[in-house]
Amino acid sequence: MTARVVVADDQAVVREGIVMLLGLLPGIEVVGSAKDGEEAVAQVAEHAPDVVLMDLRMPRCDGVEATRRIREEFPGTQVVVLTTFADDDSLFPALRAGARGYLTKDAGGDEIVRAVEAVLSGEAGLSPTVQRRLLERVTTGPPEAGGGGPEPELPDGMTPREAEVLVLIAEGMSNADIARSLHISQATVKSHINNLFAKAGLRDRAQAVRYAYMRGLVRPPGRSFT
């Protein structure tokens, strides 16, 4: 299957370079390019691509706003951020806007292909750098008031095992990785994921990562949910 892609970047040299790189990659067809967020939304309306590779800092309409509009108006199109920045002020607004992948511009062609394939299969296409940043943020955040007391009740009626699976999703693990880590079958992993997604109202893994972050479910090493 060939993924139809639109590239959005305000720097012409960078945009053309990305388009040229994508043209050499297997399984990707570039169907349009845009110099800002407004053009990106228009290109999606015209071409109905599978994925937009979205820069964040662009004039007129930035990448976060363009991502929000695309996900609301054209839910069949996924967004993978491709930007220079992996700071909190860029990363978390983009994920909240609906981006399902996030790469920095030092990503190689193979990494871009993996991210595109991941978001099209319902997973999060996050670079290792971004995954580390997410984990650093959630594991080094400010402690809750009254620390040292009992662990808070898990949200949305989630079981400890479902919460454990959610944490491993937030760490970027595939179903197969989770199965190996927990010594359970992939069918059991899928069952836990379906249950926790239903309980928390989640649609995909990118939302699961955001949910785990917002609910403080990712714990420093050594902490458990029991």
pLDDT per position as a tens digit, 70-96 = 999 999 999 999 988 777 677 888 888
Look up residue 215 and give its two tokens.
Answer: 């609910």
User: What is the topology classification, in CATH, of domain 3-125?
Assistant: Rossmann fold (3.40.50)
Alpha helices in the chain (DSSP H): 12-23, 37-47, 63-73, 88-97, 109-120, 128-139, 160-170, 175-182, 186-200, 205-214
DSSP state of 139: H
Domain with CATH 3.40.50.2300 in the chain: 3-125
Q: For residue 135, what are the contacts with CB-CB under 8 A and spacing of at least 6?
A: 170, 171, 218
15 or 125, greater pLDDT: 15
> Which residues make up the CATH 1.10.10.10 domain(s) of the chain?
155-214
Q: pLDDT for 43-65, tens place per residue?
A: 999 999 999 999 998 988 999 99
Contacts of residue 176, defined as CB under 8 A and 6 or more positions apart, other chains included, come to 186
Backbone angles phi, psi at 115, to 5 degrees: -65, -45
Sign of torsion over alpha carbons 126, 156, 197, 187: positive
Maximum mean pLDDT: which of 18-22, 85-89, 104-108, 149-153: 18-22
Count of C-beta atoms within a 10 Å radius of residue 122: 12
Identify the CATH class of 155-214.
mainly alpha
Q: Report how far residue 117's alpha carbon sits from residue 183's, in angstroms, rounded to the nearest whole number.
A: 26
